[in-house]
Amino acid sequence: MYAVKLLFESVHSGEPDPTKMDEHYEENHDTLFEESIILVKANSIEEAHELGEKIAIHSEESYDNMYGEQVTWTFRKVLHVFELDDTPFETGKELYARFLHVKKNETVDTIVQTYYPEYKKSSQRML
């Protein structure tokens, strides 16, 4: 069993319906990406990569947003494949891990800011 980390991009197309535009509509909005980790049953890391890619391509979807623009979630890349051990799934089982190679003088705060910029934002939202 493998955990496969995928990257998707939210691609907007078409013109918004002017009658549906409100104060929340952003004409020049940032691009939204989604990181997704899926489980894949495979016999090798290469097979897991290939199956993960096929599943990701098959899961691409399109829909119209509230402003009448078409939004397409497009698969962009397999980011990482992580082999899981054969122990049963239960509380505390590791599903995904990665090593971060950083300079010796880097602080934990710098690491979090660099690799997890959303951490501060999500922590503040929870308060």
121 band by pLDDT with thresholds 50, 70 and 90: low
| Alpha-helical regions (H) of the chain | 45-58, 108-115, 118-126
21 band by pLDDT with thresholds 50, 70 and 90: confident
73 band by pLDDT with thresholds 50, 70 and 90: very high
Other Cβ atoms within 10 Å of 105 Cβ, number: 6
Output the pLDDT for position 39.
Answer: 94
Cβ distance 20 to 67 under 8 Å?
yes
Output the pLDDT for position 56.
Answer: 97
pLDDT over 70 for what percent of the chain? 92
Output the pLDDT for position 12.
Answer: 84
Output the pLDDT for position 127.
Answer: 47
